[in-house]
Amino acid sequence: MLAELAGQVRQVTMKRQASAIHKMPSGRRKNQELYIGLVRLHVLHHAAEEPIFGLGIMQELSRHGYRLGPGTIYPLLHGMDRRGWLRASWQLVAGRRRRTYLATAAGRRALQLARERVRELYEEMWEAAR
Ligand SMILES: [Zn+2]
Protein backbone atom coordinates (compact mmCIF):
# COMPACT_ATOMS: atom_id res chain seq x y z
CA MET A 1 0.00 0.00 0.00
CA LEU A 2 2.71 2.46 1.05
CA ALA A 3 4.97 1.38 -1.82
CA GLU A 4 2.05 1.83 -4.21
CA LEU A 5 1.42 5.35 -2.85
CA ALA A 6 5.12 6.19 -3.12
CA GLY A 7 4.95 5.08 -6.76
CA GLN A 8 1.99 7.39 -7.37
CA VAL A 9 3.85 10.25 -5.71
CA ARG A 10 6.85 9.68 -7.99
CA GLN A 11 4.54 9.62 -11.03
CA VAL A 12 2.88 12.89 -9.99
CA THR A 13 6.31 14.45 -9.43
CA MET A 14 7.45 13.41 -12.91
CA LYS A 15 4.22 14.76 -14.44
CA ARG A 16 4.72 18.07 -12.64
CA GLN A 17 8.28 18.32 -13.89
CA ALA A 18 7.10 17.58 -17.43
CA SER A 19 4.30 20.18 -17.24
CA ALA A 20 6.72 22.83 -15.91
CA ILE A 21 8.05 23.02 -19.48
CA HIS A 22 4.86 24.79 -20.57
CA LYS A 23 4.93 28.46 -19.69
CA MET A 24 1.18 29.23 -19.61
CA PRO A 25 -0.48 27.99 -16.43
CA SER A 26 -3.53 25.81 -17.10
CA GLY A 27 -6.94 26.78 -15.70
CA ARG A 28 -6.41 24.42 -12.82
CA ARG A 29 -3.02 25.90 -11.92
CA LYS A 30 -4.43 29.43 -12.04
CA ASN A 31 -7.19 28.39 -9.65
CA GLN A 32 -4.56 26.82 -7.43
CA GLU A 33 -3.02 30.27 -6.99
CA LEU A 34 -6.43 31.50 -5.87
CA TYR A 35 -6.93 28.67 -3.38
CA ILE A 36 -3.44 28.41 -1.92
CA GLY A 37 -4.28 30.53 1.14
CA LEU A 38 -7.28 28.26 1.83
CA VAL A 39 -4.99 25.27 1.48
CA ARG A 40 -2.57 26.76 4.05
CA LEU A 41 -5.45 27.39 6.48
CA HIS A 42 -6.69 23.87 5.91
CA VAL A 43 -3.22 22.49 6.68
CA LEU A 44 -2.96 24.67 9.79
CA HIS A 45 -6.41 23.57 10.96
CA HIS A 46 -5.43 19.89 10.83
CA ALA A 47 -1.93 20.46 12.22
CA ALA A 48 -3.53 22.16 15.25
CA GLU A 49 -5.47 18.93 15.94
CA GLU A 50 -2.79 16.28 15.40
CA PRO A 51 0.61 15.79 13.72
CA ILE A 52 0.25 15.75 9.94
CA PHE A 53 2.57 14.51 7.17
CA GLY A 54 2.90 15.28 3.47
CA LEU A 55 1.18 12.27 1.91
CA GLY A 56 -1.61 12.21 4.50
CA ILE A 57 -2.44 15.88 4.08
CA MET A 58 -2.33 15.48 0.28
CA GLN A 59 -4.99 12.76 0.58
CA GLU A 60 -7.04 14.87 2.99
CA LEU A 61 -6.92 17.84 0.62
CA SER A 62 -7.87 15.69 -2.38
CA ARG A 63 -10.92 14.54 -0.37
CA HIS A 64 -11.91 18.23 -0.40
CA GLY A 65 -11.28 18.55 -4.15
CA TYR A 66 -7.78 20.06 -4.05
CA ARG A 67 -5.49 18.18 -6.44
CA LEU A 68 -2.04 19.10 -5.17
CA GLY A 69 1.09 17.06 -5.80
CA PRO A 70 4.18 16.65 -3.64
CA GLY A 71 5.90 19.41 -5.63
CA THR A 72 3.37 21.83 -4.11
CA ILE A 73 2.68 20.28 -0.69
CA TYR A 74 6.23 19.66 0.53
CA PRO A 75 7.48 23.21 -0.19
CA LEU A 76 4.25 24.56 1.34
CA LEU A 77 4.80 22.60 4.59
CA HIS A 78 8.46 23.60 4.66
CA GLY A 79 7.54 27.26 4.13
CA MET A 80 4.95 27.14 6.94
CA ASP A 81 7.62 25.62 9.19
CA ARG A 82 10.07 28.38 8.25
CA ARG A 83 7.48 31.06 9.03
CA GLY A 84 6.93 29.56 12.47
CA TRP A 85 3.33 28.31 12.02
CA LEU A 86 4.34 24.63 12.03
CA ARG A 87 7.13 22.71 13.73
CA ALA A 88 8.60 19.71 11.96
CA SER A 89 9.76 16.56 13.71
CA TRP A 90 10.53 12.97 12.75
CA GLN A 91 8.36 9.97 13.61
CA LEU A 92 9.23 6.33 13.05
CA VAL A 93 6.38 4.65 11.14
CA ALA A 94 6.77 0.96 10.13
CA GLY A 95 10.55 1.25 10.34
CA ARG A 96 10.70 4.40 8.22
CA ARG A 97 11.29 7.96 9.33
CA ARG A 98 8.40 10.25 8.51
CA ARG A 99 8.55 14.02 8.73
CA THR A 100 5.52 15.27 10.65
CA TYR A 101 4.29 18.77 11.36
CA LEU A 102 2.37 20.20 14.30
CA ALA A 103 0.98 23.74 14.68
CA THR A 104 3.05 25.98 16.99
CA ALA A 105 1.54 28.45 19.49
CA ALA A 106 2.05 31.17 16.85
CA GLY A 107 0.34 28.94 14.27
CA ARG A 108 -2.65 28.46 16.57
CA ARG A 109 -2.92 32.21 17.16
CA ALA A 110 -2.73 32.84 13.39
CA LEU A 111 -5.42 30.18 12.87
CA GLN A 112 -7.70 31.84 15.41
CA LEU A 113 -7.39 35.21 13.63
CA ALA A 114 -7.89 33.57 10.24
CA ARG A 115 -11.00 31.80 11.52
CA GLU A 116 -12.66 35.20 12.09
CA ARG A 117 -11.64 36.38 8.62
CA VAL A 118 -12.93 33.22 6.99
CA ARG A 119 -16.25 33.64 8.78
CA GLU A 120 -16.51 37.24 7.61
CA LEU A 121 -15.69 36.28 4.01
CA TYR A 122 -18.03 33.30 4.15
CA GLU A 123 -20.92 35.46 5.40
CA GLU A 124 -20.28 38.14 2.79
CA MET A 125 -20.02 35.64 -0.07
CA TRP A 126 -23.20 33.83 0.95
CA GLU A 127 -25.04 37.09 1.61
CA ALA A 128 -24.18 38.22 -1.94
CA ALA A 129 -25.28 34.87 -3.38
CA ARG A 130 -28.73 35.10 -1.80
ZN1 LIG B 1 -9.86 18.69 6.13
Tell how far the Cα of 86 is from the centroid of ligand 1, in angstroms: 16
Quick one: pLDDT band at residue 7, thresholds 50, 70, 90?
low
Q: What is the C-alpha separation between 92 and 86, in angstroms, rounded?
A: 19
For CA atoms 5, 79, 36, 20, the dihedral sign is negative
Quick one: pLDDT band at residue 10, thresholds 50, 70, 90?
low
Tell how far the Cα of 126 is from the centroid of ligand 1, in angstroms: 21
Tell how far the Cα of 90 is from the centroid of ligand 1, in angstroms: 22
Domains and CATH numbers, the chain: 26-129 (1.10.10.10)
Longest dimension (CA), the chain: 53
Average pLDDT, the chain: 85
Tell me: pLDDT of 32 over 70.
Answer: yes
Q: Record the pTM.
A: 0.75
For CA atoms 43, 72, 52, 56, the dihedral sign is positive
Tell how far the Cα of 23 is from the centroid of ligand 1, in angstroms: 31
Once rounded to an integer, what is the mean pLDDT over residues 69-75? Answer: 95
Tell how far the Cα of 124 is from the centroid of ligand 1, in angstroms: 22
